Amino acid sequence: MFHRLKIDENTELPAKFNNPFCYTPHPLCLAAADEVRNYIATRTDWYDELSQGKMFGVLVCENASGEIGYLAAFSGNLAHSNNHPFFVPPVYDLLNPQGFFKLEESNISSINHRISELQNSADYQNIVNELRAKETEGRQKIDAFRQQMKADKARRDEIRKSATDKETIDSLIKESQFQKAELKRRERDLKQELDRLKEKADAFKNEIEQLKQERKQRSFKLQMQLFDEFRLLNAKGEARGICALFAESPSHPDIPPAGTGECAAPKLLQYAYANGFRPVAMAEFWWGESPKGEIRRHGNFYPACQGKCAPLLRHMLIGLDVEDNQRVAEASRNHQPKVIYEDEWLLVVDKPSGMLSVPGKVSEVSVYQWAAEHYPEATGPLVVHRLDMATSGLLVIAKNKDVCAMMQRMFEQREVRKKYVALLESRGNLAVNESGRIELPLAPDYINRPRQKVDFVNGKTAVTTYNVLSRTDDYIRIELFPHTGRTHQLRVHCASIQGLNAPIIGDELYGTRASRLFLHAEQITFVHPVTKKSLTLESKTPF
């Protein structure tokens, strides 16, 4: 499990353990990742599975003899197993054939099989088909009888106009009464026949529903029992359960997501602590194709996931000297926005990269805070819209609530035009057309917040047009025009293989880290909500 690394005598060990949620891979991690990639490439028996995509991790550490090496891990399972000699074992092997998980999973599989049998049984299908046919046929006959009654009523009405004898009138009344009674009889007979068939169908449905409820209860109980087996260590040797860690994390659900504890990062730290290794640095990289809707690029390094790993790693890192989150440090710097336009109602500023639009969890340093300090007499000031912390450029501020409401309504009705400039990773990517339109619906990736994903089922409409300005071997300079305002819209539309397949340089969520995110809101055009004059404001792109 412990793989020794050849270290150049000039290579310095990091002073602190890297923050797994925001890091640049240490050279030792890069060397370890290269060795893992080389090993993976030899496993031709895994080729098909790995081509679909999987996250791998490396943990550079020091053993009791002072030797530097690394541990390797994969997220989830591989080739239907949790145990492979090159990689650390799972925190708990749920795939152990003799373990409670596999035994209960077999019981749940039996329930699934029984549900499938019932749903697809000839008896059930015959009853469902007969019920559907009887209902259609019965309704058609009753509708035809209603039409006949309507025609007969019209005929009787004509007869009544000239009929004077009592016998004729009584005959017409009896005919009308008979047809009404006949209609009720036919409706009653149809209902009785349908109820008889529904009762038979409901017997199947009730059994299926009872099995589904049993499956749900068994699955939940099994998941909770499984979580109880995950006792995660930290550098102080303290062990905590997964459910307890999630319960203490207010930003996460009380019930952990399925698969929690099976990611690479917890596996690596758990094995290191259990075997007396001192963690030095860690990194995780993606191998293979991107998952459906998500954006992962083969070979790129990624931070630990927020949805499953954040509550666990906050505990597992206790006792280690860990680097500060660089995003938090960036947000805390003394940024100052530059005023581009100002009148008694509005303020438009040029927000620097690394500054929040509004106060967030990581920092209170924001454009909102800056505006509140510089314009204390304003009944706002209210930030009308937002830019990502890493994005620079034009941001509109309203000095009172009424103007803010008017501006926000203009944004909602798409009456505000915005132009962004970005540098995209080139990589010889000639597939980006000179201009075009991208329509990819977006939805939050709840397990990997704040990431977004392409989702054609639950996503919200997102539309972007673009023009390429220039190309070099290193980057593509492009103009982007968002016609909707979804979170991370431009970043996902550029990075997605269904979009431009060219991430914005410096986009650590969907591409690779750089000195900054090379995305700038360069121009904004709108009609002033008070003066009704058209305004076009610009901020020169700083790159």
Residues with active-site annotation = 388
Say which amino acid occupies 508.
Answer: E
Q: Using alpha carbons, list the distances in angstroms from residue 337 to 342, 369, 371, 389.
A: 13, 11, 9, 13
Cβ atoms of residues 441 and 459 within 8 Å: yes
The whole-angstrom separation of Cα 353 and Cα 516 is: 7
Q: Using alpha carbons, list the distances in angstroms from residue 9 to 18, 25, 140, 280.
A: 21, 19, 89, 17
Sign of CA dihedral 530, 535, 540, 542: positive
- Residues 6 or more apart in contact with residue 157 via CB below 8 angstroms: none
Residue 198's Cβ-count burial label (10 Å; 0-12, 13-18, 19+) is: middle
State CA 435 to chain mean position distance.
Answer: 28
The whole-angstrom separation of Cα 321 and Cα 16 is: 5
The whole-angstrom separation of Cα 494 and Cα 451 is: 14
**CA neighbor of 179 nearest in space, from 153, 149, 207:** 149
Cβ atoms of residues 476 and 502 within 8 Å: yes
CA atoms within 13 A on the CB side of 85: 2
528: left (phi over 0), alpha (psi -120 to 50) or beta: beta
Instruction: Give the dihedral of Cα atoms 389, 392, 394, 398; nearest 10 deg.
Output: 20
The two structure tokens encoding residue 291 = 């998952």
The whole-angstrom separation of Cα 440 and Cα 35 is: 37
